């Protein structure tokens, strides 16, 4: 399953890259973060998706405390 989130409040391209790299270390997860469009795309197996998202939010909170994430339709 792939879901797209808007993620605002990351203010440097390097920080975005760093966050993306860290998120990609979560097992069975593929993360794509676009600094320019402020979109985060997470792909993970359906059955683990909620757990993965919990981890994604936790990691994001640590690395980018100012970032605001919201799911997009």
Partner 1 sequence: MKKKSRIISIALCAALFVPAVLFDKIGGLFAVYLPLYALAWFAAARTVIVKAARNIRRGVIFDENFLMLVASVGAFVINLVFSDFKTELCAPGGGEAMMDGVLVMLLYQIGELFQSMAVGKSRKGIKQLLSMRPDSAMVERNGGEEEVFPDEVEIGEIIVVRPGERIAIDGVIESGSGYIDASAITGESEPRAATVGCEVQSGSISTDGLLKVRTTKEFGESTASKMLRLVEEASDKKAAQETFITKFAKVYTPLVCLAALIVAIVPPLAVMLSGGGNVWGQWIYTALSLLVVSCPCALVISVPLTFFGGIGGAAKLGALVKGADAFSPFRRATVIAFDKTGTITEGKFSVVECTLGELDTRLAAAAESMFNHPIAKSVAAYRETDGLECENAEDIAGMGIIATVCGKRVVIGKKELLECENVEYVEYSTPYTTLYVGIDGQFAGVIVVADTIKQTSRTAIEECRRLGIKTVMLTGDREEVAAAVAKSVGIDEYFAELLPEEKVAIVKNLQAAGERVVFCGDGINDAPTLATADIGCAMGGLGSDAAIEASDVVIMKDDLRSVIAAKRHAGRVVSIAMQNIIGSLLIKLAIMILAIVIADFPLWIAIIGDVGVCLVAIFNAMRALSVKKYAPPAAKQTE
Using CB under 8 A as the criterion, which residues of the chain lie in contact with partner 1 when the complex forms? 11-14, 17-18, 32, 34-39, 62-63, 66, 73
Name the residue nearer to partner 1 (CB basis): 28 or 37: 37
How far apart CA 61 and CA 73 sit, in angstroms, is 22
7 and 65 in contact (C-beta within 8 Å)? no
Nearest distance from residue 37's CB to partner 1, in Å?
Answer: 6
Name the residue nearer to partner 1 (CB basis): 47 or 65: 65
Nearest distance from residue 2's CB to partner 1, in Å?
Answer: 12
Q: Which residues contact 7 (CB under 8 A, 6 or more apart)?
A: 33, 38, 39, 40, 60, 67, 68, 69
């Amino acid at each position: 399953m792939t879901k797209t989130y808007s993620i605002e409040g990351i203010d440097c391209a390097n920080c975005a890259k760093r966050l993306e790299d860290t998120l990609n270390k979560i097992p069975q997860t593929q993360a794509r973060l676009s600094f320019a469009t402020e979109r985060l795309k997470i792909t993970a197996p359906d059955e683990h998706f909620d757990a993965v998202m919990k981890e994604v939010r936790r990691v994001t909170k640590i690395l980018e405390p100012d970032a605001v994430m919201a799911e997009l339709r």
